[in-house]
Amino acid sequence: MSGAQTPMNLASSTTLSRPAPSGGNDRAAKSSFGSESAMSLLVDSLKDRLLFAIPKKGRLYEKTVELLAGADIKFNRAHRLDVALVQNHPIALVFLPASDIPRFVALGSVSLGITGQDVIAESTHGDAIKELLPLGFGKCKLQVQVPVTGPKQTIEELAGGRIATSFNVLAEDLFSKVDADAKAAGKEAKTSVEYVGGSVEAACALGMADGIVDLVESGDTMRAAGLHAIHTLMSSEAVLIAPSTPHASLTPELAPIVDMIKRRIAGVIAAQKYVYASYNIERKNLQNALKITPGRRAPTVSSLDEEGWVAVSSMIEKKQMAQVMDELEVSGAQDILILALNNCRVNV
Ligand SMILES: Nc1ncnc2c1ncn2[C@@H]1O[C@H](COP(=O)(O)OP(=O)(O)OP(=O)(O)O)[C@@H](O)[C@H]1O
Ligand SMILES: O=P(O)(O)OC[C@H]1O[C@H](OP(=O)(O)OP(=O)(O)O)[C@H](O)[C@@H]1O
């Protein structure tokens, strides 16, 4: 995508078709709908809506759509259309490449966005963006990688060499410091950083780079290419973001929706992360058990209709569930139940 594009441009430059009937004919749908009037209808209907940019594909797409479903943000995305009107709130979703979202948010063209911290850092719009909520997915690290058997095994040894990356701003930043350090040590060096759009791991094997800067999560792609990581530039996860200074398009009527979305998404994330534990325990063993299940704020303790016994309920982290149950049993807890949370509200 070249040049700044507002969602309005996006809407008016996009062919609006009806939601595609399966195997439907776009052209026929367009003419029966009347593309001109449909487009002005769409542009009109965006005016009173909060614009929310979400990744249109790739690693963050599915989890983002899951989050929106959990937050009861209902939409139908028409075939080939990058704008979807939310049915039950005055919100319009704008589907954009993850790496373009920081720019749209920073410019105030949209009032909310979901994208990775890595592309925010790469965009250099960081100051114009505020992070509202970490989302707990899309976790990865941006790392310098070199061939395991290669001659250059440190970033200092890469000074003056060739680096391939999709993160050329962050890579330039790092290697200008590496070059400066090399110069201070009496070795003149200018590392060349080449932009590559994808499949960056192939660059070393193809002889076009001595090292790469790319994202690593499981490490499978890196290892498959015979590379290993020698330096971490940053860790990243998906975040909910907004412009650091609200834009005029965020009217007083729309402003409360930002907080509503943030709270709903935080509730969905907490419900994915926690389960609800409940058990009975003799009062004499209560203090030990409460150390195992302290709860997010505090556990609920209520009397049982049996002398000397209490019932406890508390939220615990899902990933610690088995260990917590083991420890509770050892501490004398009985009738231990673990209940999944469908949704919840937490302080954010
Ligand atoms: N392996 C990974 N594991 C977890 N998160 C990742 C991983 N790779 C990328 N991400 C996160 O997802 C974001 C989008 O990356 P992805 O590779 O899906 O890009 P994309 O939207 O398909 O764009 P393009 O293919 O054009 O680069 C990244 O900026 C990063 O925050
Ligand atoms: O450590 P791993 O779990 O193997 O993940 C790392 C890979 O994931 C990303 O690419 P992606 O697969 O999204 O495709 P791309 O190369 O087209 O960007 C990233 O660029 C790495 O190639």
In the chain, the percentage of residues whose pLDDT exceeds 90 is 78
Ligand nearest to the CA of 218: 2
Q: What is the mean pLDDT of residues 93-107?
A: 97
Confidence at residue 45, expressed as pLDDT on a 0 to 100 scale: 79
Compute the distance from residue 118 Cα to the ligand 2 centre, in Å.
13
Tell me: the pLDDT tens digits for 105-136?
A: 999 999 999 999 999 999 989 999 999 999 99
Which residues form the pocket of ligand 1, taking CB atoms under 6 Å from any ligand atom?
55, 57-60, 97-98, 116, 118-119, 138-140, 198, 215, 217, 236
Lowest mean pLDDT among 5-14, 242-251, 269-278: 5-14
Which residues form the pocket of ligand 2, taking CB atoms under 6 Å from any ligand atom?
59, 198-199, 201, 214-222
Tell me: the pLDDT tens digits for 241-272?
A: 999 998 878 888 999 999 999 999 999 999 99
Compute the distance from residue 59 Cα to the ligand 1 centre, in Å.
5
Whether 8 shows a pLDDT value over 50: the answer reads no
Q: pLDDT averaged over the chain?
A: 88
Domains of the chain: 7-136+238-253 (3.40.190.10), 140-236 (3.40.190.10), 274-340 (3.30.70.120)
DSSP collapsed to 3 states, the chain: CCCCCCHHHHHHHCCCCCCCCCCCCHHHHHHHHCHHHHHHHHHHHHCCCEEEEEECCCCCHHHHHHHHHHCCCCECCCCCCCEEEECCCCEEEEEECHHHHHHHHHCCCCCEEEEEHHHHHHHCCHHHEEEEEECCCCCEEEEEEEECCCCCCCCCCCCCCEEEECCHHHHHHHHHHHHHHHHHCCCCCCCEEEECCCCCCHHHHCCCCCEEEEEECCCHHHHHCCEEEEEEEEEECEEEEEECCCCCCCCCCCHHHHHHHHHHHHHHHHHHHEEEEEEEEEHHHHHHHHHHCCCCCCCEEEECCCCCEEEEEEEEEHHHHHHHHHHHHHCCCEEEEEEECCCCCCCC
Compute the distance from residue 215 Cα to the ligand 2 centre, in Å.
6
**Atom of ligand 2 at shortest distance to CA of 217?**
1
Tell me: the pLDDT tens digits for 47-79?
A: 889 999 999 999 999 999 999 999 999 998 888
Ligand nearest to the CA of 119: 1
Ligand nearest to the CA of 64: 1
Q: What is the mean pLDDT of residues 93-101?
A: 97
Compute the distance from residue 319 Cα to the ligand 2 centre, in Å.
26
Whether 22 shows a pLDDT value over 80: the answer reads no
**Whose Cα sits closest to atom 19 in ligand 1?**
58
**Atom of ligand 1 at shortest distance to CA of 236?**
31
**Atom of ligand 1 at shortest distance to CA of 56?**
21
pLDDT tier at 341 (50, 70, 90 boundaries)?
very high
